[in-house]
Amino acid sequence: MIKLDHVTKSYGPRTAVRDLSLDIGEGELFAFLGPNGAGKTTTIKMMVGLLFPTSGRVLIGGHDLRTDGERARLLLSYVPDQPFLYEKLTGREFLQFIADMYGLSSNTSRDRIEEVIDMFQLADFIDDLTERYSHGMRQRTVFASALVHQPKVLIVDEPTVGLDPRSVRILKNLLRKQADSGTTIFLSSHSLDVVEELADRIAIVDHGRLISCGSLEHLRSHAELDGSLEDVFLRLTEEAPAEVSPTRDADGKGGA
Amino acid sequence: MSVAIPSSVRERVWPLLSAVFGRQTVLFLRLQMRLMTNSITILLRQSPIRPLTVFSVMAVIFIFVFLVSVEGFAFIKMQKLALTDQIVGMVLDFLFLSLGIMLVFSTALLLYASLFASPETSFLLSKPVAADKVFAYKFHGAVAFSSWAFLLLGAPVLIAYGLIGEAPWHYYILLGLFFLGFVLLPGSIGALLCLLVVNFVPRQRKTLLILGAGLFLLGLATLVYQACFIAQNESLDREASGRLLNRLGFARSVLAPSHWVSSGLRAAERNGSNDLGLSLYYLALIWSNGLLAYLATTWSASVLYRRGVNRIATGGSLRRRYGESWLDKLLAPVQVFVRPSTYLLLVKDFRTFRRDPAQWAQVVVFCGLLLLAFFNIGVFSGDSPWVYINNLSAGTVLLIGLLVAVYNGRFIFPLMSLEGRKFWILGLLPIDRAQLLWGKFAFSATMMLGFAEVLTIFSDLMLGVPWLLAIVHPLTMLVLVLGLSAMSVGLGALLADFRETNPAKIASGFGGTLNSIIGLLFLLIAFTLISGPSHAWLMLDRRDDLSWFAWSTILIAMTVGLAIGLTALILPLRLGLQSIRRREF
């Protein structure tokens, strides 16, 4: 469902993502981990068509994001780490706008909007302007909008930041349920406990390069360590060669 | 919550419009309408002070421009000059040319901010929407926003022209149609300019756009000066008028869209047998070219917009090195009279200011225009009569004061609001919160005092004013700078809007508007009391040995003026300080 084919992305003289290839199947919950500046957000931006790869291809449901972007984006939903809402729209108006954007018929959109309002417990504030929402309310509304058109692919960047434990629990259940129902979830997070609990496969990137990819067991064997994901992550990123290419900054810092 | 269209109408109209214009186009139209109706609903539910203030200020400007235009057109008509029609044509050509070029640059700058630096467009571009539809949606907003000044300044001139020329009723209808058609053309050119700059010179994009706008303003000022010089130094006979027309001939080219609008409106105003047809011909010319330019630009956006977003992100190194600069040392003398903690805050504000080209570029343009005006003072003064020099010197002080007021309103007032969500950093610092205010006050007053006093003394020297004015003017400027800086800092803290991150919006919001109005009132009152009597007495008789009665009035008015200046210095800072001490974060 998601395919990255030898993707490289350079920012001027610096390379943020280096020859990255991933193949993620339908209904898979795929976690994408890496230290700050590892190239995670750049990869996600290429997967939603905000940036183009310097070389290689990104395909969603077989559609190349560069040449057939509109069809590819019809299949996906993206929840960024700093989600956007129109301050002068109510939550319901925002959901309606998203439903219309994906071309849902009026009956379908009405039903779906009620469904997601119920799913994310938005009823108390859905008819208020979003400028009055707290962080948690905004996050839940954005998730509701991401699911209103039942996407085939859900790309989520740092979904648990600022959420209370109950909301985190609701979110974890929801992500698992979505994956079980056939939606491909691409989850980028620093919350390793959430990833450990949910992910089918985990990829770890550092300095724009894929270090390891597979189940938690596979990662453990790669790291030669029988510990938690946190231990494995630290071991693998510690050992990752910080190859300083001729194109890197003089201070040696990497990142996107 | 909102002013809603009845659902039965909505359900019939939207699908019909979607079938004609396309689903995504109508979707964005609906979004714009919904955002507008919700904003109006909220505005109406809140205090009426803000819309009333904005409306009143706009009405005052509109009426002022209208009255000046009525006087101007009536004067030209009364003179019955041989070239009256050409002079009016030149005025309109020049008006549309300058407004058109301003629209090009303002649309380009606004579109850059909304297409390439806004979270909304990042959100929209991650959705299944065509790039040209997103572009068109933002284009409409940018053109509407940048053409309000065109409406505010151009409409009163053209209505006055119609009234003095006793234009027929259709002139006023065609006026609106010409206006709408005309804004499409410079708007599209500005948008195309923005797309091309971002795609092909992404690293210097902002500097290029701002420099272009600055060069245009300087060019405009030079032309205005040349026109004023001819008008000032030569009687407006046939030869001088002809020379003036030749000097501005480029604006009258048959290929210039500004000339099409001007010619079309003049034809509509004449009401002759063939004139309506001629006017409609020019209207068709404007609309066909405007629509063609719009189509070409939206097509370019379908190819270049997403590419441009990618180019901006990848066109150069994202990390730029900053550090201590020699510019920081310019502030070193301030350390003598402020605490070390205040000085650190001052340096922080100065660095923030100069690292944002959108901020300092406007100051450069301001200063450029002002310097141009000052170098021309000598040309104007020459052997001019004393009355003229007296008025010119008073006008110069008022102009410098106005610039100080504008600078403070635009750049200093938003400073406290811009601390925004970072306010907790300042709030937790182990310093008295009064230092935050003093830092900003010292920043504004130091920069402005040097700038304003040098210009004031320089202009007085060039004009050769009497010693009384040479003392009174710098004193007036001292009071103005301190008062205006204190107002902008104090009211900026009292009316801070911590949610807004755009300084231009903070300055043009309710607090900023109120600050500007109070600042302008203070400018007029302080000038009238401190400098006014000296100018009035010297106007009557250019003697330095004034009567005791004259001296008494000068001193009494000056004392009242200084007391008002002291109040303007202390009161806003006290109010701002109380507010900032109470503020939770």
CA distances from residue B469 to B389, B475, B538, B544, B546 in whole angstroms, order as listed: 11, 10, 9, 10, 13
> Which DSSP string do the residues of B517-585 spell out, in sequence order?
HHHHHHHHHHHHHHTHHHHHHHHH---SS--HHHHHHHHHHHHHHHHHHHHHHHHHHHHHHHHHHH---
When CB atoms are compared, the residue of A12, A49, A127 closest to B125 is A49
- CB-side neighbour CA atoms (13 Å) of A137: 17
Q: Is B128 in contact with A73 (Cβ distance < 8 A)? A: yes
Of B27, B35, B318, which is closest to A100 when you measure between CB atoms?
A: B27
The two tokens of residue B68 are 């000046």
Query: Which one of A55, A100, A135 would you mutate to disrupt binding with B, by most B Cβ within 10 Å of its Cβ?
Result: A100
What helix, strand, coil percent values describe chain A, rounded to 5?
A: 40, 25, 40
As a whole number, mean pLDDT of residues A86-106 equals 91
> pTM of the full predicted structure?
0.71
Residue of B nearest to A52 (CA): B310
A78 → chain B, closest CA residue: B126
Q: What is the pLDDT of residue B477?
A: 94
Taking the C-alpha atoms of residue B63 and residue B159, their distance in angstroms, rounded to an integer, is 11
Check pLDDT > 60 for residue B279: yes
Question: Measured between alpha carbons, how far is A243 from A2 in angstroms, rounded to an integer?
Answer: 28
Distance (Å) of CA B475 to CA B451, B460, B466:
14, 13, 15
> Which of A88, A249, A256 lies at the smallest CB-CB distance from B39?
A88
- Among the partner residues B30, B34, B122, nearest to A50 by beta-carbon distance: B122
Find all residues with CB under 8 Å of B44, minimum gap 6, and list them.
Answer: none
Residues of B in contact with A127 (CB under 8 A): 1
Q: Do B126 and A86 touch (CB under 8 A)?
A: no
Residues 6+ apart with CB under 8 A from B141: B32, B114
Contacts for B298 with CB less than 8 Å, ≥ 6 apart: B132, B135, B136, B139
Using a CB-CB cut-off of 8 Å, the residues of chain A touching B2 are 90, 93
Cβ <8 Å between B319 and A253? yes
Contact A253 B128 (CB under 8 A): no
How far is the C-alpha of A51 from the C-alpha of A36, rounded, in Å? Answer: 19
B231 pLDDT higher than 60: no
Please check whether residue B459 is in contact with residue B377, taking contact to mean a CB–CB distance below 8 angstroms: yes
Instruction: With beta carbons less than 8 A apart as the criterion, state whether B387 and B539 touch.
Output: yes
* Better-predicted residue by pLDDT, B577 or B220: B577
More confident residue, A29 or B381: A29
What is the rounded distance in angstroms from the CA atom of residue B391 to the CA atom of residue A9? Answer: 64
- Which residues from B are below 8 Å from A89, CB to CB? 34-35, 38
User: What residues in A contact B24, CB-CB < 8 Å?
Assistant: 101
* Both tokens assigned to B198: 């971002």
* Contact: B317, A12; criterion CB under 8 Å: yes
- Phi-psi region at A64: left, alpha or beta (left = phi > 0; alpha = psi -120 to 50): beta
Cβ contacts below 8 Å, chain A against chain B, sum to 94
Name the pLDDT band for B113 (thresholds 50, 70, 90): confident
Q: Which of A42, A46, A52, A131 is most worth mutating to test chain B (most B CB atoms within 10 A of its CB)?
A: A52
Out of A169-173, A250-254, B317-321, B456-460, least confident range = A250-254
Give A142-159 as a DSSP string. Answer: HHHHHHTT--SEEEEEST
| Separate counts of helices (H) and strands (E) for chain B | 25, 0
Residue B323: what pLDDT? Answer: 63
Identify all chain A residues contacting B119, using CB atoms and an 8 Å cutoff: 82, 84
Handedness of CA B218, B223, B229, B232 (dihedral sign): negative
Determine the Cα angle at B116 with ends B113 and B120, to 5°: 85
Identify the CA nearest to B292 among candidates B177, B188, B197: B188
Model confidence band, residue B292 (pLDDT cutoffs 50, 70, 90): very high
Question: What pLDDT, on a 0 to 100 scale, did the predictor assign at position A246?
Answer: 38
Residue where the block lists tokens 């450069």: B364
CA B102 – CA B108 distance, rounded (Å): 10
Q: Which helix (H) or strand (E) element contains residue B336?
A: none
Contact B314 A97 (CB under 8 A): no
pLDDT for the residue numbered B244: 57
B258-278 tens-digit pLDDT: 889 988 988 888 877 788 889
For residue B48, the 8-state DSSP code is T
CB distance A157 to A139 below 8 Å = no
Question: For residue range B74-98, what is the model confidence (pLDDT) as tens digits?
Answer: 877 776 665 567 777 777 887 788 7
* Contact check, Cβ <8 Å, A89/B319: no
Residue A164 confidence (pLDDT): 81
Q: What is the DSSP letter of B383?
A: T
Q: What is the pLDDT of residues B135-175, one digit of tens each?
A: 999 998 888 877 776 777 788 888 998 898 888 888 999 99
State the maximum Cα–Cα separation within chain B, in Å, rounded to a whole number: 83
Q: Which chain A residues contact residue B314 at CB under 8 A?
A: 9-12, 51, 54
What's the pLDDT at B102? Answer: 77
Span B536-558, average pLDDT: 81
Q: Are B416 and B493 in contact (CB under 8 A)?
A: yes
Residue with more model confidence, A80 or B368: A80
3-state secondary structure B388-441: HHHHHHHHHHHHHHHHHHHHHHHHHCHHHHHHHHHHHHHHHCCCCCHHHHHHHH
- Of residues B454, B361, B439, the one with CA closest to residue B404: B454
Q: What pLDDT digit, counting tens, does each position of A178-231 carry? A: 999 999 999 998 888 889 888 999 999 988 899 989 988 998 888 888 888 888
- Rounded to a whole number, what is the distance in Å from the CA of A80 to chain B's nearest CA? 9
Which residues of chain A are within 8 Å of residue B122 when distances are taken between CB atoms? 50, 80, 84
Q: What is the pLDDT of residue B559?
A: 94
For residue A74, give the nearest of B1, B128, B314 by CB distance.
Answer: B128
In this predicted structure, what is the pLDDT of residue B485? 94
C-alpha–C-alpha distance, residues A104 and B23, integer Å: 11
B95 φ, ψ (degrees, to nearest 5): -60, -50
- Give the C-alpha distances (Å, rounded to integers) separating B83 from B25, B70, B76, B162, B240: 49, 19, 10, 19, 11
**Domains in chain A, please, with CATH?**
1-75+152-256 (3.40.50.300), 85-150 (no CATH)
Which of chain B's residues have a Cβ under 8 Å away from the Cβ of A11?
313-314, 316-318
Per-residue model confidence (pLDDT) at position B548: 83
Name every residue in B having a CB less than 8 A away from some CB of A: 1-2, 11, 23-24, 27, 30-31, 34-35, 38-39, 42, 119-120, 122-123, 125-130, 306-307, 309-310, 313-319
Q: Are A249 and B120 in contact (CB < 8 Å)?
A: no
Q: Which residues of B touch A9 (CB under 8 A)?
A: 314
Instruction: Tell me what pLDDT residue A256 has.
Output: 32
Q: What is the pLDDT of residues A34-90, one digit of tens each?
A: 888 888 989 999 999 889 999 999 999 999 988 888 899 999 999 988 888 998 899
